[in-house]
A and B are shown apart, each in its own frame.
Chain A
Amino acid sequence: MQSQQALRDLHRRCFLKQSAGGLGGIALASLLQNEGYAREPDRPTPLDPRQPHFKPRAKNVIFLFMAGAPSQLDLFDPKPEMKRLHQQSVPPSFLAGLSDSLIKGSARVMASPRTFIKHGQCGMDFSDYLPHLATRADDLCMIRTMHTDTSNHDPAQLLMQCGVPRFGSPSMGSWVTYGLGSDSQDLPGFIVLLSNNGPGDIAGTALWDSTFLPAPYRGVTFRSKGDPILHLASPDGYTPERQRDRLSAVNDLNRIRFQQQPDPEITSRIDAYELAFRMQTAAPELLEFSQETPATLESYGIGNEKTDTFARNCLLARRMVERGVRFVQLYHYTWDDHSDLNVNLKVNCDKTDKPAAALIHDLKQRGLLDDTLVIWGGEFGRTPMNEVRRGNSPGKEGRDHHKAAFTMLLAGGGVQGGQIIGETDELGFNPVKAPIHVNDLQATILHALGLDHERLTFRHQGRDFRLTDVAGNVVHQVFG
């Protein structure tokens, strides 16, 4: 027994000597863990909160990902000139030297069928499809000159979420929880909420994979129906008492094993089981909306058939942030309106507009918006022209994928609301002022969290990798 205690003390002493907190500490801890040498019970866990590089503006992120790419030209970026060019060929100057497999020279300009109104004191344009988000104009920073590298869904989604248009890089949420840990002790630090809208354009689990970052930084999916986390509920026939009995038996046997084989990984296993048991309690509490006022539920659109799914996810996002979850990622799909855009776009706007606006308002009235960066947008934009790849469909026009210019919205987390950044040309084809690449946006998001995107790195295959790959400039204008 004495040697047992000596061993534990040594583990601890050794660790305390090596751990100096911060990123170096956690990198070391994860290195030790990889080498089969994991933590003691009082060691820091991978999700313990850590200090950022500099004073942060935001503590948490809620990313409302509009997968499939909503049309910026019918929601945010009015182009009166298009009325004049409607159904005409695109002026050749736009197509010269263009290499994009999706943009077809034979496509004709398609003026937006929507009407735009200026909103808020700032006079921000929104189309009539987004009446609720429009009321948040003074909280929102609208970037009209986002651009990306690829016009296929999954590479572009990977670029937006993981910094490169290929599989194999960690998700933004993984990078952020790797950098900052999480304030929640009973919930994962990076949670993914899916609209479960049926078939859609979404690249799959790679979007929230931690890849070469340690597994605790992997996004955990919460499902809107049934068990929120896979296997969260005790199996049929296990009352809470019987579940506790089972856990006690497992942990007791593991403790006996530790006497035989004093491997610190065993104590980590015991911790993991305790945390799992706490999650079994914490997650249902998180999902329990009965504490919310009817007014709050109504404001999000919970109970309304159209808005219910997205509204529940938005309210969950707020409740997660309240409980210290670092990064909440929502996916709503699909905005991929190749045809019949005027009708289909409305369907998704109707599902998401009210909940998204309510989320921003609710965070604000609870004083959470200052600490929470909210992001709204898709992986690219849509063409100023009618989509023709599958032939024309008179009366049911849609728009194709467009990587050169699209719009995203930011709110909270130190972002200065009521401003529009960037300007596109008369067709909304290309940025003419302040183009902002996806990597720039990522550098800016990390900056809001007090992280320097060039210093948040992880050594893998002999190279220091980062979210923004080899690019990215912080857009300081976002913060005013």
Chain B
Amino acid sequence: MQARYFLLLGSLCITLLSPVISFSQSHWSFQPIVHSATPVVHNDDGWSRNRIDSYVLEQLRKHNLQPSPIASAATSIRRVTLDLIGLPPTVPEVDEFLAEDRPDAFERVVDRLLASPHYGERWARTWLDLCHYGDTDGHLTDQLRPVAWRYRDWVISALNVNLPFDEFTISQLAGDLVEGGSRRLPPATDDPILGTGFLRQTLSNREGGADLEEYRVEQIVDRTAMVGTIWLGLTAGCARCHDHKYDPLSQKEFFQLYSFFDQADEINIDAPLTSEREAYLQVRSEYDRRRRDVIEPYRIGLTALQKAWEAKVLHARAHPGEDHVWDRQWELLGLIWGGGLGEGQLEGTEIVKLGWGNRTPRQQDDLLDYFLERGSVADEKQFAELKLGELRNQLVALKKQFPQAMATRAPVMMTSQTPRQTYIHERGEFRSPGPNVKPTLPDWLNASRQASSDLAGVNENIVQNQTSRLTLARWLVSGEHPLTARVTVNRMWQEFFGKGIVATSDDFGTRGAKPTHPQMLDWLAKEFSDSGWNVKATHRKIVGSATYQQSSRPRPDLIELDPGNSLLARQSSLRVPAETVRDSILFASGLLSSSLGGPGVYPAQDERVTMEAFGSNTWTTSKGADQYRRSVYTFIQRTSPFAQSITFDAPSPQRICARRDRSNTPMQALTLLNDPALQQISHSFAELLCVSKTNSDRERIELAFRRCLSRPGTSDELDRLERYVEQQRAALRGSTQASSSQNEWADLASVLINLHEFIVRD
């Protein structure tokens, strides 16, 4: 009863107090980062490993609590391996670690893991949650985006090479504007421009009748909200319709942030893979020349007709409702351009708007191709007389003749060629324009007035220089405001402890949680930015702490004192993410493919899953080893994502997610017990066990156990499993139902992957 009383009282207080605190710019997270002295903690019995531990111990001492002892070696290596690369350790890795007596054994493991290419795969997934990465459009027909993975691979690679977080940020928000980012030559696969694929993770609506501007606006709101959540820890989206109720972000400031992105358009570019690059550079100019030659005999008539078509389309745009045939042509241009290819949806309409003469040769080419496909409506008779169908066929044939000139494309953003005037959307409705706004940084967030006025100077030049997003991106990582560093290290902490120092990692505003260890948060934030935004170094620091390495075993003395484990007197047992559940199964059974990157793959699943979406999308299981790739490579059909991932709380690829749920449901049990795809994998696991060099059932069980749980089984555990194996062997011998491939070892494998311990990291 008492608890409920306090809950009620608490919410009452919040209600009463909120007008008072709502516009408070004095909220803790908006204050400059405080440099505090290392807390002095006496008599820690040699427990502490680094400064993190001093902060944690200081708090524990205040509550008369002791930290937990360091976890066993087997638990330690399993924990840190799962956390850093998203896979369990191999049996030899565990053995080697257990046999180590050098004092820096753990650090050596950490170094090995940070250098592993699997590190990027694991940490990319966390980043992809934030920008809700997907391989399809997301709305209704949910068409494919077959080159979306270029961005996913860019993220993996950036994390693997430990790209400093400031560059990582700038590339994703403004990689097209970065000096040295090559815009003429085709970019290399790690070019910052490919980072702007981040901004391409918004949804596209290609449904007939969709208002093109309405969905463009939705995309920009989404991009603005992403910046708010990911770098500022603010629920910026709330300020779309009105001034933020609780945080000092006005609707005007929201649209000032919005306007940074209002000046950018989706575009796809030729971005040859490393293997394609040389040939592309050799043949592309030859292809371009041949293309001009093919077009030349048609040019005069073609140009006249295409110009007439463009004029009519533009007229329909300016005068909707006059002629539904041309209304439809305008609509189609916006709806179908690059559909199914993941090209920028509005590229076509933007090119038409530019007008003849203002286009790049490539834009002119792309529009010509569209016109030849769809433009006969301009004048069917003339189109036929000019033999433009014939020209289209020749150009298609030419492309086939020059496959090497057709490099793999990549989705990016570039500054709009036609500037837009951004205005406030009254009540969040873009059809109700309010006052005009310009790209402006939220100045109340700047740490000092000096910095603020400097940047104000920058702001005035933004529109002319067209460096607007670059200014925003640089400001985010300039150290001029405290949020980026705090929010980012907090999310890292969340991954290593299950909960952030600020539990609401997506909300550092006045309604968010308070930091449990404010000084530690600030110290980590400062170290992070001072280190040159070194992500791996920060990870190393966190896992190097005794706080991280302590045992997760629940303690009776903590149950009442600290049920949420906020004081960190122990580690937490955490259900591993959906991807790690599956990857661990593949790993244990020896099937996991270690190849990196490339287009999304389709692991086996019930074909009816995709029927839950538009229904015309199909799921054809990949062949061979591609079925067994790491789950970060699983194709993400936004309207019906891979069912196993969703069952284990992978977030919806349609919205920002900074914190995953960790549910424990019967659906998870049904999946692990019965999913035919997992049964198949259990059979492979069994085969692996049957050819292993083991001399008895017992040894075989021990091996399987260790492959799954990274520790030797106890005699209780092994006895129970041995009994199960014997029982099933007998049952199968007498059964006519069992298929020939079914054996007791597949049963054993299935039991092991169903264990709670298998899908948690302690």
The reply to whether A389 and B554 form a contact with Cβ atoms under 8 Å apart is no
Interface residues of A in 1-52 (CB under 8 A from B): 3, 6-7, 10-11, 14, 17-20, 22, 24-25, 27-28, 32-38
Find out whether the CB atom of B739 lies under 8 angstroms from the CB atom of A237: yes
The answer, yes or no, to whether A85 is at the interface (CB within 8 Å) is: no
Residues of A within 8 A of B83 (CB): none
Asked if B652 contacts A462 (CB within 8 A), the reply is: no
Structural contact, B669 and A273, CB atoms closer than 8 A: yes
> For window 535-567 of chain B, which residues contact chain A by CB distance below 8 Å?
552-554, 556, 559-560, 563-565
Report B354 CB to chain A, min CB distance, Å: 23
Smallest Cβ distance from B644 to chain A, in angstroms? 9
Indicate whether B727 reaches chain A with its CB closer than 8 angstroms: yes
- A133-141, A263-271, A404-412: which one contacts chain B? A263-271
Q: Does B509 contact A (CB under 8 A)?
A: yes
* Residue A293 at the chain B interface, CB threshold 8 Å: no
Tell me the chain B residues, 106-145 only, with Cβ under 8 Å from chain A. Answer: 138-140, 142
User: Which of these, A33, A253, A279, A462, contacts B507 with CB under 8 Å?
Assistant: A462
Partner of A269, one of B331, B667, B717, B756: B756
Number of A-B contacts (CB under 8 A): 292
Bound-state CA distance A334–B572 (Å) is 48
Q: Is the CB of A237 within 8 A of B720?
A: no
Q: Mark B706-731, 1 if CB is under 8 A from A, else 0.
A: 00000000101100110010011001
Interface residues of B in 705-762 (CB under 8 A from A): 714, 716-717, 720-721, 724, 727-728, 731, 735, 737-739, 742, 747, 750-751, 754-757, 760, 762
User: Residues of A contacting B507 with CB < 8 Å?
Assistant: 461-462
Complex Cα–Cα for A337 and B505 (A)? 46
Please classify how large the interface on chain A is, using the bins under 10, 10 to 19, 20 to 34, 35 or more: 35 or more
User: Could you tell me if A253 and B203 are in contact, using CB atoms closer than 8 angstroms?
Assistant: no
Stretch with Cβ within 8 A of A (4 or more), from B204-212, B522-530, B590-598:
B204-212
In the assembled complex, the Cα of A280 lies from the Cα of B673 at a distance in Å of 11
Asked whether, in the complex, the Cβ of B720 is within 8 Å of the Cβ of A201, the reply is no
Smallest beta-carbon distance A199→chain B, Å: 4
The listed residue (B3, B510, B643) touching A230 by CB distance below 8 A is B643
Known contacts: A14-B559, A105-B321, A203-B140. The answer to whether A235 contacts B665 by CB under 8 A is: no
**CB <8 Å contact, B731 and A101:** no
Q: Do A246 and B573 have beta carbons less than 8 Å apart?
A: no
Interchain nearest-CB distance for A36 vs B (Å): 5
Q: A17-B2, A229-B670, A231-B673 are in contact. Are A265 and B321 (CB under 8 A)?
A: no
Please give me the residue from chain A that is nearest to B725 by CB atom.
Answer: A249
Taking CB atoms, residues of chain B closer than 8 Å to A231 are: 606, 670-671, 673-676
Contact mask for chain B residues 627-668; partner A; CB cutoff 8 A; 1 contact, 0 none: 000000000001111010010010010110000011111111
The answer to whether the Cβ of B613 comes within 8 Å of any Cβ in the partner chain is yes
Among A221, A242, A260, max chain B CB count under 10 A is at: A242
Which of chain B's residues has its CB closest to A3's CB?
Answer: B556
Q: Does B152 contact A (CB under 8 A)?
A: no
Q: Is the CB of B661 within 8 A of A252?
A: no
The verdict on B201 contacting chain A, using a C-beta distance below 8 Å, is no
B513 smallest CB distance to A (angstroms): 9
The answer to whether A14 and B563 touch (CB under 8 A), given A152-B207, A230-B671, A272-B668, is yes
The answer to whether A216 touches B665, judged by C-beta atoms less than 8 angstroms apart, is yes
A286 within 8 A of B: no
Q: Which residue of A lies closest to B757 (CB)?
A: A257
Q: Is the interface of B mostly helix, strand, loop or mixed?
A: loop
How far, in whole Å, are A168 and B226 apart by their CA atoms in the complex?
A: 14
The answer to whether A206 has its CB under 8 Å from any CB of chain B is yes
B696 at the interface (CB under 8 A from A): no
Q: Given that A24-B4, A250-B751 are contacting pairs, would A233 and B674 also be in contact in the complex, using a CB cutoff of 8 Å?
A: yes
Whether B238 sits at the interface, judged by CB under 8 Å, is yes
- Using known A-B contacts A233-B674, A261-B552, A265-B573, determine if residue A154 contacts B324 with beta carbons closer than 8 Å: no
Asked if B608 is at the interface of the complex by the 8 Å CB criterion, the answer is: yes
Chain B residues lying within 8 Å of A243, measured Cβ to Cβ, are: 673
CB of B1 within 8 Å of the partner chain: yes
Flag if A236 contacts B498 (CB, 8 Å).
no
A394-427 residues at the B interface, CB under 8 angstroms: 400-401
Tell me the minimal C-beta distance from B163 to chain A in angstroms: 29
B-side contacts of A280, CB under 8 Å: 670
Q: Which of A7, A151, A204, A389 contacts B331 (CB 8 A)?
A: A389
* A28, A102, A246, A268, most chain B CB atoms within 10 A: A246
Task: Tell me whether A256 and B720 are in contact in the complex, defined as CB-CB below 8 angstroms, given that A206-B654, A239-B737, A391-B325 are known contacts.
Answer: yes
Q: Give the interface residue-count category, chain B.
A: 35 or more
Which residues of chain A are near B606, meaning CB under 8 Å? 226-227, 230-231
B48 within 8 Å of A (CB atoms):
no
For residue A106, which residues in chain B have a CB less than 8 angstroms away from its CB?
321-324
Selecting from A56-64, A116-124, A207-215, A298-306, the interface stretch reads A207-215
Confirm or deny: B615 has a beta carbon within 8 angstroms of a beta carbon on chain A.
yes
Does the CB pair A204–B638 fall under 8 Å? yes
Determine if A99 and B431 form an interchain contact, defined as CB atoms under 8 angstroms apart.
Answer: yes
Instruction: Name the B residues within 8 Å of A279 (CB-CB).
Output: 666, 670
Asked whether B565 lies within 8 Å of A235 as measured between CB atoms, the reply is no
Closest to B616 in A: A199
Q: Is the CB of B572 within 8 A of A389?
A: no
Contact of B614 with A by CB under 8 A: yes
B612, CB-defined interface residue at 8 Å: yes
**A234 adjacent to chain B (CB < 8 Å):** yes
Inside 8 A of B751's CB, which chain A residues have their CB? Answer: 246, 249-250, 253
Q: Does B679 contact A (CB under 8 A)?
A: yes
- B717 near A223: Cβ-Cβ < 8 Å: no
* Complexed CA–CA distance, A401 and B140 (Å): 15
- Alpha-carbon separation in the docked complex, A154 to B141 (Å): 10
Assess the B754–A199 pair: CB atoms within 8 A. Answer: no
Taken residue by residue from 312 to 333, chain B's Cβ proximity to chain A (1 for < 8 Å, 0 otherwise) reads as 0000000001111101100100
Closest 7 CB pairs of A and B: A462-B511, A204-B639, A215-B663, A276-B669, A167-B654, A101-B211, A168-B655
Given A237-B738, A261-B554, 18 other A-B contacts at CB below 8 A?
A: A36-B574, A101-B214, A168-B652, A203-B139, A204-B142, A204-B640, A226-B606, A236-B679, A236-B742, A237-B742, A239-B731, A245-B731, A246-B750, A263-B554, A276-B669, A389-B208, A389-B209, A462-B504
Q: Interface on A for B, CB 8 Å cutoff?
A: 3, 6-7, 10-11, 14, 17-20, 22, 24-25, 27-28, 32-38, 99, 101-102, 104-107, 151-154, 166-168, 194, 196-206, 209, 211, 214-216, 220-221, 223, 225-227, 229-237, 239, 241-243, 245-247, 249-250, 252-254, 256-257, 260-266, 268-270, 272-273, 275-276, 279-280, 388-391, 400-401, 461-463
| A-B CB contact pairs (8 Å), 6 listed | A168-B654, A204-B639, A263-B573, A270-B756, A391-B328, A462-B235
Chain B residues engaging chain A, CB cutoff 8 angstroms: 1-4, 7-8, 138-140, 142, 203, 205, 207-211, 214, 218, 235, 238, 245-246, 321-325, 327-328, 331, 431, 498-499, 504, 506-507, 509-512, 552-554, 556, 559-560, 563-565, 572-575, 606, 608-609, 611-616, 638-641, 643, 646, 649, 652, 654-655, 661-671, 673-676, 679, 714, 716-717, 720-721, 724, 727-728, 731, 735, 737-739, 742, 747, 750-751, 754-757, 760, 762
